[in-house]
Structure 1
């Protein structure tokens, strides 16, 4: 964060200094919400959570080097006391971003947000100093924490924005107003909360509505291949740049091809020329993500040669997202267990199928270890059934459905599609899946592990990579 005095922070947040002997003391370290992450000169923001109250750790934070605490009540150590810590944190983030004048790139979508954000970050970092959302910290707390990591050297600030309902993205754009807004897709993630894809589109489109006009430099980067996203061009005053495989896309891909191991290559077309891209990522769905990143980079002035090179060198920054690891015995584990929705589940299965050629050549099989997809509401049965059917259509060798009624729906879909033998099985929990896989895996097998975050199915992948022991408690 840029250095600010405690007096300045109090003024920005509308707070009251408490137990602060010298208001001119400056915050020179990061803003954190975990006392274990405190560094010298930090500002510790104390949040009262469901199970833990950060105010109880205020003394520990200051003892560890924090210059002060942003708190909702006096805590016995130097603090700026505010009415609402969350709103104060947001106000501080907005003030810092406005002072810096950094180009803010915001992105949202039903699937692929984090992978695309990681690609954008790596491409832009090759161009100029860039700060981006770590992992999936894309909510009303994570977003300002990311923005507050920016410094005077930061040229690009890349922010992932999530939504749990109408108005959420509008709120986030108010904290860190973007100049460039990217919408990836409108799918069925959280459809149980929103009520339908049209409502999801309404929420995602709040991003383009918040952009400045074209005359003021605003740019909406939209997926030409998604009709609900393409239609958002009518909701913005900003200039529109389309990406995708459609013929009229400003940034598009042709000659898409897949390597035997599952990594895509394509010819990248931009308004300034063409370049060849070979991604290190697994799965054809990453072509669209790469095009989105390329479109943002093009808007920010990078040449097609720079973009193609940076995309070809980019890897995975966030954990448990198509992490591919080959064990010493020749078994490959694909840990994509951070989260799941119908769109990302289908993309992961197709990536597994693409890797199947290499698996079969090595005498192996493909395994899909799948758990429940959350927040689908009334669509849950149909969506799980469809995923089970797709696994059969893609000739996945073994489907292991983990836990509860959703697992039975996955197997039901596989059964109805023609999986009548031992190709699919339901197991009760992660440990049962591990026990099964340890007894059945053989060299050359490829194992995909995927489920919604709440399931914690990454334990299966981690245990298989560790090679022994019971599943650790989360």
Structure 2
């Protein structure tokens, strides 16, 4: 059975009166108004029966678009103030209200049917692992998993609200920028299966104590599992495997180290940077050969996690591997490899970046190019690293040199530490280029690149290098 696509699924019916009651809001609408379609943040995505969530962004106030949402079919608005002539449930806090609504919705679904909820967290790999799990489960039941990275206090409730009584599997990506985030998200959506990938240096700015505080925050996921649920931990990461002591339910492990439940052996990276390995379910001694289509050695961790999670849910290992071997990265700007007609290869991994994912992407660049092709690393700033940001960028520049990358192009002043590290490590002359803007980077690359070059584009999303990646592959 194929998945019910997120975009086309419909929630249970809520009346305006029920939404006001659940959220503690003030009803400024006909109480009998019905919400019969998905909740949306973008007025352009509204359809007949939608609930429009008038969230306040940095540069946009959703209330200004409420009438447009109604024109597109929305029947009700969730907002923080009255809007003349518009049916609104007025609440003090949009995020909290949306969370309460999603919590109530999932509770109703659990009472009506047999929905199973999977949650994934980690400093890197969440979105890809979510996509892999979603693709496997979609072959075996109606599955909801979001496109992209809907992993925060707004995105996760919106995904939960898209589930229906027919939904068998709900796959959720859960991000943490500060302590307590995962406790909050798992309170909205308690988990049948909790998957922890790696603990790294992402979002260090929100964790005053550094990486050990990141580990403590990630461990909140294992405490958000329902009775009879399962916790799945990466045994290759010492900080992750230590979380087993905090789990009250069954714990299964995966990795290349010995004594894991899902054990990878005979690991190999092919000339295109794709992982090949043998996986054994040590509970049953069943063994399968995995041949990933995804580029990057780090995807072996994501694949093992996906196999563990889906097997726990009753999917046969052979069937899971069969889907996995044909799976792709559905979300954009994640190790997306494009072979241009002029013979230049672009590796677009520009959606997000932290020191761990940067190292993995640079290693993939070196592997794909081998020793015969020029390598170009176009790197921007890694955001939210806190007080150690400069040091982390410097370290990355040194790694570029150690991997013998032919050219480093550093984009933006915030990433200048990368250039400093490369030069301190011994990269001189024309091997390091600094440009202040994306436009200047594009101009330089247009003149510099030639047939056979392999180019990696990577930074945090907020740095904007995804726009450059789109231009380099002809999407802009």
TM-score (norm 1): 0.93
Bigger mean CA deviation after superposition, 296-305 or 189-198: 189-198
Residue equivalent to 1:93: 102
Residue 50 in 1 paired to residue 58 in 2?
A: yes
Bigger mean CA deviation after superposition, 450-459 or 336-345: 450-459
Structure 1 unaligned blocks of 5 or more? none
Residue equivalent to 1:355: 368
Q: Distance in 2 between matches of 1:388 and 1:48?
A: 37
Residue 200 in 1 paired to residue 208 in 2?
A: no
Q: Distance in 2 between matches of 1:142 and 1:100?
A: 19
The correspondence of residues 131-210 of structure 1 with structure 2, limited to 5 A, is: 131-195=144-208, 196-210=210-224
Could you tell me whether the CA contact under 8 Å between 1:91 and 1:175 is conserved in 2? yes
Q: Distance in 1 between matches of 2:234 and 2:315?
A: 20
The correspondence of residues 99-118 of structure 1 with structure 2, limited to 5 A, is: 99-101=108-110, 102-118=115-131
Q: Distance in 2 between matches of 1:59 and 1:345?
A: 43
Deviations 1:213-254 (A, max 9, x none): xxx312111110111111111112011011111111101211
Q: Distance in 1 between matches of 2:395 and 2:56?
A: 41
Deviations 1:43-62 (A, max 9, x none): 11222333322222222222
Aligned-pair distance for 1:193?
2.5
Instruction: Go from structure 1 to structure 2 and tell me whether the alpha carbon gap of 1:421 and 1:51 turns closer, same or farther (over 3 Å shift).
Output: closer
Pairs aligned (count): 458
2:133 to 112, 120, 129: 120
Residue 377 in 1 paired to residue 377 in 2?
A: no
TM-score (norm 2): 0.93
1:219 to 230, 237, 247: 230
The correspondence of residues 70-85 of structure 1 with structure 2, limited to 5 A, is: 70-75=78-83, 76-85=85-94
Bigger mean CA deviation after superposition, 251-260 or 55-64: 55-64
Residue equivalent to 2:430: 422
Aligned-pair distance for 1:294?
0.7
Structure 2 unaligned blocks of 5 or more? 1-10
Could you tell me whether the CA contact under 8 Å between 2:375 and 2:406 is conserved in 1? yes
Residue equivalent to 1:330: 343
Residue 452 in 1 paired to residue 465 in 2?
A: no
List 4+ stretches of structure 1 deviating above 4 A.
Answer: none
- Match of 1:324, SS state, is strand
Q: Distance in 1 between matches of 2:382 and 2:353?
A: 6
Could you tell me whether the CA contact under 8 Å between 1:268 and 1:308 is conserved in 2? no
Aligned-pair distance for 1:14?
2.7
- Match of 1:348, SS state, is helix
Residue 298 in 1 paired to residue 311 in 2?
A: yes
Aligned-pair distance for 1:28?
1.6
Residue 60 in 1 paired to residue 74 in 2?
A: no
Aligned-pair distance for 1:429?
1.9
Q: Distance in 2 between matches of 1:58 and 1:401?
A: 41
Instruction: Go from structure 1 to structure 2 and tell me whether the alpha carbon gap of 1:257 and 1:377 turns closer, same or farther (over 3 Å shift).
Output: same
Could you tell me whether the CA contact under 8 Å between 2:442 and 2:468 is conserved in 1? yes
Aligned-pair distance for 1:91?
1.1
Could you tell me whether the CA contact under 8 Å between 1:134 and 1:146 is conserved in 2? no
Residue 256 in 1 paired to residue 267 in 2?
A: yes
